[in-house]
Amino acid sequence: MKILHTSDWHVGKVLKGQSRAEEHKAVLAGVIDIARAEQPDLVIVAGDLYDTAAPTSEATRLVTRALTALRRTGADVVAIGGNHDNGPALDALRPWAEAAGITLRGGVRENPAEHVIDGTTAGGERWQLAALPFLSQRYAIRALEMYELTAAEANQTYADHLGRVLGRLTEGFAEPDRVHLVTAHLTVTGAAAGGGERDAHTVLGYAVPATVFPATAHYVALGHLHRAQQVAGPCPVRYSGSPLAVDFGEQENVPSVTVVEVTASTAARVREVPVTAASALRTVRGTLAQLAEIEAPDAWLRVFVREQPRAGLREEIQELLPRALEIRIDPELLAAPGSGARIAQRSGRSPRELFGDYLDSRGHADEGVRDLFDELFEEVEH
């Protein structure tokens, strides 16, 4: 059978005030085109369909249309909730999904059978998929355990609980002549973060060892980390990564989906298929004169400017580089020796003097900023 594995769409993402809606339309159209060309038997979307738990109607429309289009390629489609998704809200869409022939699992249900999906390909290959949406530590570990355990014990308990949950969902994996699959949205110890994940859900307390997956699994399709990568484990374990760079921490990632070919008796063969529809994210740095000379890449830009702060600097850079979304003084310049040497003495000094000391400590010599502070402070006082 052939599987198309994707995750971390983050539809609805806004980057530094810039909507990514048009990019998401193009990216998901690209994923659908890949599905039409590859003709997979199964499409797995391993969580974080949305960027927020309260997606807009536009974001919901885009996700549901994309899932429907993937189903229309002839593939079975299974999507699970991630930490950015609202699990109960996704589950509320299950009647629509079932009518469309799509399997949607937003949150963890009490009945484990709801998370075990069986199917057969057009060619007669039988498969079984254990689908585990994102499970928070707070939900996985009862309050009493949290109160009684140390932090290290709680971390281990979370991993133990996840292992037991997956063990329960994969009890049928001993059956021969069937492809055994797992999809989950979580952090595996030793995997490389992609740069744009929510830190609270990638720290040690949320990381589990790859040994939670059974050796009898033919392939484990993961979501949560945005960099496409294989993870060492008792079976093939892989993150597909996000099909677009979500923020500037991911500018070195190669957006892609993963295509897997496997049978019940042969090992999984894995390959990445790039998705190039979204604008790249790039970082440029230099003085104003240097920035004026560069050939601006066709990308959203983060600019580290090597100039002392002054009024109007941001506007000048945006005029030079219209696609600059983030403009900051180069951290290397701010870290220069002596840049923070002066410390204002508060006692007996006026607000203007204190603000002036702050500007001096940052190497900011523009009198226009001091005058603006005076005007604003006078308005506040009166």
- Please report the DSSP string for 163-200 in residue order: HHHHHHHTGGGG-SSSEEEEEEE-EETTPPP-S-S-GG
- Paired sense of beta strands 219-223 and 179-185, if any: parallel
Contacts of 29 (CB under 8 A, 6+ apart): 277
Kindly report the average pLDDT of the chain as a whole number.
88
> By the 8 A CB rule, do 11 and 63 touch?
yes
Structure token pair of residue 306: 């090597």
Is residue 373 predicted with pLDDT exceeding 90? no
Which residue matches tokens 């809606």? 21
Our separate counts of H helices and E strands in the chain read: 12, 19
What pTM was computed for the model? 0.83
Residue-wise pLDDT for 165-210, tens only, equals 999 999 999 889 999 999 999 999 989 887 766 654 555 557 899 9
**What is the rounded CA–CA span in Å between residue 245 and residue 279?**
8
Fold of 2-274: Purple Acid Phosphatase; chain A, domain 2 (3.60.21)
Residue 197 confidence (pLDDT): 61
Task: Residue 213: name the closest of 199, 239, 234 by CA.
Answer: 234
Tell me which residue of 166, 171, 211, 168 sits closest to 188, measured CA to CA: 211
pLDDT digits (tens, 9 = 90+) for 270-316: 999 999 999 999 999 999 999 999 888 889 999 999 988 888 899 99
The pLDDT assigned to 297 comes to 83
**Could you tell me if 104 and 90 are in contact, meaning their C-beta atoms sit under 8 angstroms apart?**
yes
Which residues are bridge partners to 303 per DSSP?
284, 327
Could you read off the pLDDT of 303-357 as tens digits, one per residue? 999 988 888 899 999 999 999 999 998 887 765 554 444 444 455 677 877 887 7
Average pLDDT of span 141-145: 56
Contact 185, 222 (CB under 8 A): yes
- Amino acid 200: pLDDT: 47
What pLDDT was estimated at residue 159?
86
The per-residue pLDDT for 347 is: 55
What are the sequence ranges of the domains in the chain?
Answer: 2-274, 279-335, 341-381
What is the greatest pairwise CA distance in the chain? 84
Mean pLDDT of 236-262: 95
Dig out the tokens for 186 from the structure.
Answer: 């979580």
Higher-pLDDT residue of 377 and 151 is: 377
Residue 6 clears pLDDT 90, i.e. is over it: yes
Q: What angle do CA 372, 285, 335 make, to 5 degrees?
A: 70
Instruction: For the beta carbon of residue 54, count every other beta carbon within 10 angstroms.
Output: 9
Tokens 């950015």: give the residue. Answer: 84
Q: What percent of the chain has pLDDT over 90?
A: 67
**Looking at residues 81-86, what average pLDDT do you find?**
95
Cα–Cα nearest to 128, from 184, 179, 77? 179
- Residue 340 has a pLDDT of 46
| Selection from 253, 380, 369, 233 nearest residue 314 by Cα | 369
Mean pLDDT value across residues 90-102 = 96
Q: What is the mean pLDDT of residues 83-93?
A: 95
What is the model's pLDDT at position 310?
83
Cβ-defined contacts of 367-372 (< 8 Å, 24+):
368/310, 368/311, 369/310, 369/311, 372/311
- Please say if the pLDDT value at position 84 is more than 90: yes
Dihedral of alpha carbons 121, 131, 71, 101, sign: positive
311, containing H or E segment: none
Strand partners of residue 300 = 281
- The helix-helix angle for 21-38 and 57-72 (nearest 10°) equals 10
- The DSSP secondary-structure symbol of 107 reads S
Percentage of residues in the chain having pLDDT higher than 70: 86
